[in-house]
């Protein structure tokens, strides 16, 4: 078992301290900041990743029972089949003056999965794909205002919700975001509404029907979509002539191939995918009805890097393996198994926890006044036992029975340890951050 001193003095934490002098915020992605897990202790950087295992800069091996590349590597790290397809694409030329045929093949495959859609555009990240979707919706409707629920990235159109009221996004999964750098002229163009609150949405819409370009939601994230919720949103969008957009960047490929909305039988006008669709390679897609997507030709949406061969090749290979292996069945089983592990371990230790989330986006939380301290100590104790452990778990196809058995044993040990610790001795490291916080170069 690793000591706390070994974790603190590793090359990863040292490099992260250096990074904060060179990179604003220390990392490129908020969700990968060590402060979100266990400050001063989280390994921060990897030298290698394969299957469901990660090696840090000191060569120490960890089983990843946390976020699995923020949900991107749904088949596991460095999957041979996907990597072989990418290597073939690289050796055939990543880019050229002509277009790669894979982008047409991928469009056909995505539309076959989503017959309601007629056209596809590509990008390489979820944030820019959402920006593209909003641009297309506004171009199609010739309207400006966007109503949304959930988290949808870093772009101006989204952060504009905090221009009028500084806490407009606090109820949308990411509290503390500031709209610095977002033009004040966008005030009022992005209006949040609460998930599954149709009455509130109708009140928000009243008097603005002719201004609303899009209604944007994550169809399911924390839990399954409530009965009739998506159907009512579809009806409202039809009534006011708005584009209904499903942000499937997180939910896509988690519970079935393609979009989770396929499970509910309610179709949007646009669906957006990224993360899991290419098993960690940079790729995103905007699918939509032909009627709406043709509006892309009335505005300017274009990028050299959206034409590279790697993203489509990886996405095609991921989709083929996912469907052949019926990956969703294994992913759902793993998530339910993990929830059961948490529940049983907490009950044995006499700790109160809440377990939530879709099976493939499982999470738990301590029902305790010192929940943040317990979360942090859980992560530290799991690191000492050779796991990237966190209060969330995003399953991958690479998680096997042996890893799950080892994790169950570790959870039993750690929950018992947490229950035995005095309240004033829960932490000998800083607590994790609970939301967005600006970092200093401390």
pLDDT tens string 221-231: 788 999 899 99
pLDDT at 355 over 80: yes
- pLDDT average, residue stretch 113-132: 98
Residue 432 bridge partners (DSSP): none
Return the beta strands (E) in 304-390 as ranges. 353-356, 362-366, 387-389
- Asked whether the beta carbons of 230 and 260 are under 8 A apart, the reply is no
> HEC states along 128-197?
HHHHHHHHHHHHHHCCCEEEEECCCCCCHHHHCHHHHCCCCCCCCCCCCCCCCCCCHHHCCCEEECCCCC
What is the pLDDT, as a whole number, of residue 173? 52
pLDDT band at 169, cuts 50/70/90?
A: low
- pLDDT average, residue stretch 125-151: 97
pLDDT band at 166, cuts 50/70/90?
A: low
pLDDT band at 442, cuts 50/70/90?
A: very low
Report how far residue 107's alpha carbon sits from residue 100's, in angstroms, rounded to the nearest whole number.
12
DSSP for 284-325? EEEEE-HHHHGGGGGS----GGGG-SHHHHHHHHHHHHHHHT
pLDDT tens-digit readout, 267-290? 999 999 999 999 999 999 999 999
pLDDT at 164 over 80: no
Task: Pinpoint the residues of the chain covered by CATH 3.40.640.10.
Answer: 95-308
Residue 48 bridge partners (DSSP): 55
CATH architecture of the domain with range 4-76+328-425: Alpha-Beta Complex (3.90)
Structure tokens at 187: 């005030």
Nearest partner of 276 among 392, 155, 389, 397, judged by Cα = 397
Q: What is the mean pLDDT of the chain?
A: 95
pLDDT tens-digit readout, 371-394? 999 999 999 999 999 999 999 999
pLDDT tens-digit readout, 323-340? 999 999 999 999 999 999
Pick the most confident of 165-179, 191-205, 243-257.
Answer: 243-257
- Looking at the chain, the whole-number percentage of residues with pLDDT higher than 90 is 91
Task: Pinpoint the residues of the chain covered by CATH 3.90.1150.10.
Answer: 4-76+328-425
* Continuous segment of H or E residues that includes residue 232: helix 229-240
The terminus-to-terminus CA distance of the chain in angstroms comes to 29
Report how far residue 1's alpha carbon sits from residue 4's, in angstroms, rounded to the nearest whole number.
10
- Asked whether the beta carbons of 394 and 324 are under 8 A apart, the reply is no
Helix (H, G, I), strand (E, B) or coil at 85: helix
Q: What angle do CA 380, 154, 251 make, to 5 degrees?
A: 70
- pLDDT average, residue stretch 187-214: 94
- Looking at the chain, the whole-number percentage of residues with pLDDT higher than 70 is 95
Report how far residue 388's alpha carbon sits from residue 118's, in angstroms, rounded to the nearest whole number.
41
- pLDDT average, residue stretch 134-148: 98
pLDDT at 403 over 50: yes
CATH architecture of the domain with range 95-308: 3-Layer(aba) Sandwich (3.40)
- The residue written with tokens 């991921």 in the block is 318
Nearest partner of 354 among 367, 341, 344, judged by Cα = 367
Structure tokens at 218: 């994550």
What is the pLDDT, as a whole number, of residue 204? 93
């Amino acid at each position: 078992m690793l000591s706390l001193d070994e974790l603190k003095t590793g090359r990863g934490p040292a490099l992260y301290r250096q990074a904060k002098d060179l990179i604003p915020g220390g990392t490129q992605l908020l969700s990968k900041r060590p402060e979100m897990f266990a400050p001063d202790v989280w390994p921060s950087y990897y030298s290698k990743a394969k299957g469901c295992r990660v090696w840090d800069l000191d060569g120490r091996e960890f089983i990843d029972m946390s976020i699995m590349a923020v949900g991107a590597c749904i088949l596991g790290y460095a999957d041979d089949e996907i990597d072989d397809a990418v290597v073939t694409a690289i050796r055939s030329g990543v880019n050229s003056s002509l277009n790669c045929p894979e982008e047409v093949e991928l469009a056909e495959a995505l539309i076959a999965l989503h017959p309601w859609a007629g056209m596809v555009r590509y990008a390489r990240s979820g944030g820019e794909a959402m920006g593209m979707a909003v641009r297309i919706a506004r171009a199609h409707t010739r309207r400006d205002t966007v109503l949304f629920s959930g988290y949808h990235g870093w772009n101006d159109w989204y952060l504009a919700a905090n221009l009028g009221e500084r806490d407009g996004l606090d109820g949308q999964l990411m509290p503390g975001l500031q709209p610095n750098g977002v033009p004040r002229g966008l005030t009022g163009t992005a209006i949040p509404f609460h998930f599954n609150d149709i009455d509130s949405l109708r009140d928000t819409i009243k008097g603005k029907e002719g201004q609303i370009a899009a209604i944007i939601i994550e169809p399911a994230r924390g839990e399954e979509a409530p009965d009739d919720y998506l159907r009512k949103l579809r009806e409202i969008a039809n009534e006011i002539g708005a584009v209904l957009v499903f942000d499937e960047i997180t939910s896509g490929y988690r519970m079935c191939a393609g979009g989770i909305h396929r499970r509910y039988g309610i179709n949007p006008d646009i669906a957006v995918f990224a993360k899991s669709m290419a098993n960690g390679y940079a790729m995103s897609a905007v699918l939509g009805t032909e009627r709406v997507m043709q509006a892309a030709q009335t505005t300017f949406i274009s990028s050299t890097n959206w034409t590279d061969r790697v993203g489509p090749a990886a996405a095609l290979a991921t989709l083929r393996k996912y469907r052949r292996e019926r990956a969703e069945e294994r992913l759902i089983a793993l998530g339910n198994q993990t929830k059961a592990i948490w529940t049983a371990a907490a009950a044995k230790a006499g700790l109160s926890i809440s377990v939530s989330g879709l099976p493939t986006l499982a999470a738990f939380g301590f029902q305790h006044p010192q929940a943040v301290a317990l979360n942090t100590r859980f992560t530290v104790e799991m690191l000492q036992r050779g796991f990237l452990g966190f209060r969330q778990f995003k399953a991958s196809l690479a998680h096997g029975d042996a890893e799950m058995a080892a994790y169950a044993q570790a959870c039993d040990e750690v929950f018992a340890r947490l229950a035995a610790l005095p309240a004033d001795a829960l932490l000998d490291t800083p607590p994790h951050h609970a939301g967005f916080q600006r970092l200093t170069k401390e």
